């Protein structure tokens, strides 16, 4: 690649050069694996869409990119899929042929006249004969359309005042009944309820409820066969933590919500699956990450146990032959297991855990992406090929799950495991090391040796201890929030979010890890060193908080820049490479203000057009300072030349709305890597 400066005239040629990543799944999301009824396709539902693979060797047959709006469904036979999408503010459902990978069209979903505008679809299911699609809104309204035409069949508002927490919608084996399972509104005394609706007369035929605190959990699998007592039932991972904690799989008849039996396990199952003939139950341990296989409907120890993965497993599946099984985990791998062997019969990468931080290696050809698990993945920037994985046994999410008493700290785990958080990486000098901080996890800042792919040392304020109701936490850092490195790698600035409200900025000497000074501060949400390392700029989201310019050597405030609006929200601060300008992105005001660093006065101001200012929150500057990339919540990357009063006319728009988590220019300025909330990486090229 050439190292000539980026030509602004070439912006018209901006485009996506590469796109990769097969998605992941938050724990308990219900995404996972499914084998088609004819055994010809292994389907992976993930944040990125639907991956269709060969069950034999795991080669990719099709990948269907689809927005992650919280509702997806795969048909019982594995030939069709549906997902929720957005068209100019209107919710629609997209339909896909999983055999060919082609679209089957899209349809609007009918609503009840009195529904609030903010109510969204929470659940989808396809009938066994693929003739109906049922959708449940978050307020409990049930909407049914026919397939493939999309005509309205029925809209039921019976439950609109009953729940704000839909759990499952499920057609029975013949499609003659539709079951809606939900949690009583306000988590009331009625507990979990199951309503059975006749799909011919559209009348309610059954109504059952569990006691408060008992019943199916938020995800699980429904058996494709009747129980030995003639009921339809499902398997649901649960945790009961009143008194003595219990973990395992609860087996419920979903018509009556009668608990058939409880399959007790030593730890919480992170995934569960059932074979298409209902004979084989497969699950994964959240502590050992192993995959276990049992005979379904028999409360017995596992018949087979496989090594599984190097991190939590989020999807499992079983073939009806009782010999072949599949799993996918947060280590990014999809694996095939065969009875009698402890090594995978086949495996495939690309299912990376939730990515956040991203940076290029010095050669601009390799990309390094930090996951919220704490691992770092080194990837070929243009092909998406996985080159290496940097892993640490103290990964934040894994740390919580493995070493803590689940009963004692369960509320804290829920906060950590469900939060987006940040796992930021910053390259050191000479490409020899990376610095990483994770917002959640009680871990110190880690310095990675890029040659070895392992942690060389850690940096933390060893005098810092937090005492809370669970006792003392690590005597290092808690909730590292943000980090910045000086361009020469000599100094590191780090912030801490704590229950004690202590949001000070710590300045470390990177080479020794020594804490040099602590600077009192309000909450900081963006922090950056000037190119020469003599200034540190910070800003926060609190009302009327100014941009502060600090001297990191003394800790003194050099300048406070008062913002023009009390409602200003500074999302990002970036110095231009020559240090002449500090750019401040104000998402509330819809502006980017360029402050001259000699006077700290506004030298240029970009006013983002109102129609484009849709949650712009990320800003990056090219290495030569000629181009600024701005991303929004809606999947658009706009560009600006500092000094001009308007955005460049060309932009990159992703095919569906996706919030951008992080962006990074390559060192030669030719590539811009973008990570979205769908967990796909897109490489945007600028060619002269």
pTM over cut 0.75: yes
In this predicted model, what pLDDT tens digit does every residue of 565-591 receive, in sequence order?
766 788 899 999 999 999 999 888 888
| Residue 14 shares a structural domain with residue 115 | no
DSSP for 476-528, written as a single string? S-SSEEEEEE-TTSSEEEEEE--TT---PEEEEETTT--EEEEE--S--SEEE
Instruction: Give me the phi and psi of 402, to 5 degrees please.
Output: -90, -40
In this predicted model, what pLDDT tens digit does every residue of 446-491 receive, in sequence order?
888 999 988 888 887 655 544 443 333 444 444 556 889 998 889 9
| Residue 484 shares a structural domain with residue 375 | yes
Please tell me the predicted confidence (pLDDT) of residue 442. Answer: 56
The verdict on residue 72 lying in a domain is: no
| Residue 12 shares a structural domain with residue 140 | no
Please tell me the predicted confidence (pLDDT) of residue 188. Answer: 53
Instruction: Give me the phi and psi of 12, to 5 degrees please.
Output: -60, -20
- The DSSP symbol for 429 reads G
In the block, tokens 């990769």 appear at 20
In the block, tokens 């339809």 appear at 232
The verdict on residue 67 lying in a domain is: no
The verdict on residue 588 lying in a domain is: yes
| Residue 362 shares a structural domain with residue 478 | yes
| Calpha distance 161→184 (Å, rounded) | 9
| Residue 586 shares a structural domain with residue 443 | yes
Confidence of residue 11 (pLDDT cuts 50, 70, 90): very low
Cross-strand partners of 652: 637
Please tell me the predicted confidence (pLDDT) of residue 378. Answer: 94
Last residue of one domain, picked from the residues 180, 211, 242? 211
Here the tokens at position 423 are: 């796992």
Please tell me the predicted confidence (pLDDT) of residue 403. Answer: 35
Lowest mean pLDDT among 13-22, 90-99, 174-183: 13-22
Alpha helices by DSSP H, listed for 289-447, are: 396-403, 406-418
Here the tokens at position 137 are: 């809104």
Please tell me the predicted confidence (pLDDT) of residue 630. Answer: 93
Confidence of residue 128 (pLDDT cuts 50, 70, 90): very high
CATH number for the domain harbouring residue 488: 2.130.10.10
Here the tokens at position 426 are: 């910053």
Q: Which residues contact 108 (CB under 8 A, 6 or more apart)?
A: 90, 91, 92, 150
| Residue 13 shares a structural domain with residue 145 | no
| Residue 554 shares a structural domain with residue 654 | yes
Confidence of residue 661 (pLDDT cuts 50, 70, 90): confident
Question: Region 643-651: what's the mean pLDDT?
Answer: 86
The verdict on residue 274 lying in a domain is: no
Neighbouring C-beta atoms of residue 215, cutoff 10 Å:
23
For the cut 80, the answer to whether the pLDDT of residue 65 exceeds it is: yes
Order of all β-strands in the sheet with 547-550? 526-529, 536-539, 547-550, 557-561
Cross-strand partners of 536: 529, 550
Here the tokens at position 160 are: 């609109």
Q: Are 369 and 381 in contact (CB under 8 A)?
A: no
Question: Region 354-369: what's the mean pLDDT?
Answer: 90
Please tell me the predicted confidence (pLDDT) of residue 635. Answer: 80
The rounded percent of the chain whose pLDDT value lies above 90 is 47
Please tell me the predicted confidence (pLDDT) of residue 394. Answer: 60
In this predicted model, what pLDDT tens digit does every residue of 537-563 receive, in sequence order?
999 877 678 999 999 999 999 999 988
In this predicted model, what pLDDT tens digit does every residue of 379-398 receive, in sequence order?
999 999 999 988 776 655 44
The verdict on residue 37 lying in a domain is: no
Can you point out the beta strands (E) in 199-344?
204-209, 221-222, 233-240, 246-253, 258-265, 269-274, 280-285, 291-295, 304-306, 313-318, 324-329, 334-338
In this predicted model, what pLDDT tens digit does every residue of 605-639 receive, in sequence order?
999 887 775 678 889 999 999 999 999 887 889 99
Lowest mean pLDDT among 95-104, 111-120, 152-161, 180-189: 180-189
Please tell me the predicted confidence (pLDDT) of residue 186. Answer: 56
Alpha helices by DSSP H, listed for 290-423, are: 396-403, 406-418
For the cut 90, the answer to whether the pLDDT of residue 141 exceeds it is: yes
Lowest mean pLDDT among 107-121, 305-319, 537-551: 537-551
Strands 581-586 and 570-575: antiparallel
The verdict on residue 99 lying in a domain is: no
The helix/strand/coil state of 399 is helix
Here the tokens at position 174 are: 């013949």
Give the chain's mean pLDDT.
Answer: 84
Lowest mean pLDDT among 237-241, 306-310, 643-647: 237-241
Last residue of one domain, picked from the residues 190, 211, 232? 211
Here the tokens at position 686 are: 């600028």
The verdict on residue 599 lying in a domain is: yes
In this predicted model, what pLDDT tens digit does every residue of 30-54 receive, in sequence order?
789 999 999 999 999 999 999 999 9
| Residue 13 shares a structural domain with residue 119 | no
Indicate if the alpha-carbon torsion angle 290, 328, 396, 410 is positive or negative.
negative
- The DSSP symbol for 415 reads H
In the block, tokens 């979205």 appear at 676
625 or 413, which is more confident = 625
678 or 202, which is more confident = 202
| Residue 14 shares a structural domain with residue 148 | no
Confidence of residue 324 (pLDDT cuts 50, 70, 90): very high
Strands 557-561 and 652-653: unpaired
| Residue 13 shares a structural domain with residue 136 | no
Confidence of residue 654 (pLDDT cuts 50, 70, 90): confident
Order of all β-strands in the sheet with 660-665? 15-20, 681-685, 671-676, 660-665
Question: Region 331-353: what's the mean pLDDT?
Answer: 95
Last residue of one domain, picked from the residues 194, 211, 228? 211
For the cut 90, the answer to whether the pLDDT of residue 328 exceeds it is: yes
Please tell me the predicted confidence (pLDDT) of residue 443. Answer: 63
Q: Which residues contact 270 (CB under 8 A, 6 or more apart)?
A: 27, 237, 284, 285, 286, 289, 312, 313, 314
421 or 42, which is more confident = 42
| Calpha distance 562→658 (Å, rounded) | 33
Domain residue limits at 486? 8-18+352-685
The verdict on residue 566 lying in a domain is: yes
Here the tokens at position 307 are: 């090594």
Please tell me the predicted confidence (pLDDT) of residue 212. Answer: 57
Q: CA dist 99 to 61, 160, 273, Å?
A: 9, 37, 22
Q: Are 74 and 50 in contact (CB under 8 A)?
A: yes
Count of domains observed in the chain: 2
Task: Say whether the peptide bond before residue 19 is cis (omega within 30 degrees of 0).
Answer: no
Here the tokens at position 102 are: 């082609």
In the block, tokens 């700029």 appear at 537
CATH number for the domain harbouring residue 206: 2.40.10.480
| Residue 423 shares a structural domain with residue 528 | yes
């Amino acid at each position: 690649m050439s190292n000539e400066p980026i030509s602004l005239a070439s912006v018209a040629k901006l485009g996506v050069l590469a796109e990769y990543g097969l998605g992941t799944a938050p724990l308990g999301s219900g995404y996972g694996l499914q084998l088609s009824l004819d055994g010809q396709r292994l389907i992976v539902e993930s944040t990125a869409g639907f991956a269709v693979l060969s069950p034999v060797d795991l080669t990719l047959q099709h990948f269907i990119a689809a927005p992650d709006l919280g509702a997806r469904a795969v048909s019982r036979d594995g030939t069709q899929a549906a997902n929720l999408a957005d068209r100019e503010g209107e919710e629609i459902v997209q339909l896909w042929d999983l055999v060919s990978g082609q679209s089957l069209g899209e349809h609007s979903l009918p609503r009840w006249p009195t529904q609030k505008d903010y109510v969204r679809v929470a659940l989808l299911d396809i009938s066994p004969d693929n003739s109906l699609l049922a959708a449940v809104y978050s307020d409990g309204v049930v909407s049914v359309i026919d397939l493939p035409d999309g005509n309205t069949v029925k809209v039921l508002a019976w439950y609109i005042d009953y729940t704000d927490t839909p759990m499952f919608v499920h057609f029975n084996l013949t499609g003659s009944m539709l079951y809606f399972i939900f949690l009583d509104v306000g988590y009331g005394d009625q507990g979990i309820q199951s309503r059975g609706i006749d799909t011919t007369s559209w009348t309610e035929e059954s109504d059952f409820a569990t006691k408060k605190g008992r019943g199916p959990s938020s995800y699980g699998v429904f058996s494709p066969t009747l129980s030995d007592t003639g009921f339809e039932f499902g398997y649901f991972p649960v945790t009961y933590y009143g008194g003595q904690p219990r973990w395992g799989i609860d087996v419920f008849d979903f018509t009556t919500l009668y608990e058939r039996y409880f399959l007790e396990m030593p730890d919480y199952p992170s995934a569960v699956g059932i074979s298409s003939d209902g004979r084989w139950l497969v699950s994964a341990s959240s502590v050992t990450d192993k995959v276990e296989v049992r005979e379904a409907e028999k409360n017995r120890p596992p018949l087979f146990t496989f090594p599984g993965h190097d991190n939590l497993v989020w999807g499992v599946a079983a073939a009806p032959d009782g010999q072949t099984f599949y799993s996918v985990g947060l280590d990014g791998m999809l694996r095939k297991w065969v009875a009698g062997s402890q090594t995978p019969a086949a495996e495939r990468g690309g299912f990376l855990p939730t990515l956040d931080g991203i940076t290029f290696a010095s050669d601009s050809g390799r990309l390094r992406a930090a996951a919220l698990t704490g691992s770092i993945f080194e990837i070929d920037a243009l092909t998406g090929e996985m080159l290496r994985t940097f892993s640490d046994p103290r990964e934040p999410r894994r740390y919580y799950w493995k070493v803590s008493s689940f009963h004692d700290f369960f509320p804290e785990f829920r906060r950590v495991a469900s939060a987006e958080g940040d796992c930021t990486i910053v390259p050191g000098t000479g490409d020899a090391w990376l610095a990483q901080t994770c917002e959640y996890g009680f871990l110190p800042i880690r310095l990675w040796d890029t040659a070895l792919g392992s942690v060389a040392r850690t940096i933390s304020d060893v005098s810092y201890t937090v005492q809370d109701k669970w006792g003392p936490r690590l005597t290092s850092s808690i909730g590292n929030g943000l980090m910045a490195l000086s361009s020469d790698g000599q100094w590191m600035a780090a912030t801490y979010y704590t229950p004690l409200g202590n949001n000070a900025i710590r300045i470390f000497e990177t080479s020794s890890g020594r804490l040099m000074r602590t600077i009192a501060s309000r909450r900081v949400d963006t922090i950056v060193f000037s190119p020469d390392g003599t200034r540190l700029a910070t800003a926060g989201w609190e009302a009327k908080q100014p941009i502060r310019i600090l001297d990191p050597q003394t800790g003194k405030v050099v300048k406070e820049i008062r913002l023009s609006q009390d409602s200003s929200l500074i999302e990002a601060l970036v110095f231009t490479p020559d240090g002449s300008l500090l750019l401040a992105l104000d998402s509330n005001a819809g502006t980017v203000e360029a402050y001259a660093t000699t006077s700290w006065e506004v030298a240029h101001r970009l006013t983002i057009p109102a129609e484009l200012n849709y949650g712009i929150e990320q800003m990056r500057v090219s290495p030569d300072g000629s181009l600024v990339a701005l991303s929004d919540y809606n999947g658009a990357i706009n560009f600006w030349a500092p000094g001009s009063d308007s955005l460049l006319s060309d932009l990159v728009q992703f095919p569906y709305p996706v919030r951008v988590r992080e962006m990074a220019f390559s060192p030669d300025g030719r590539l811009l890597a973008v990570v979205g909330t769908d967990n796909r990486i897109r490489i945007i090229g600028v060619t002269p």
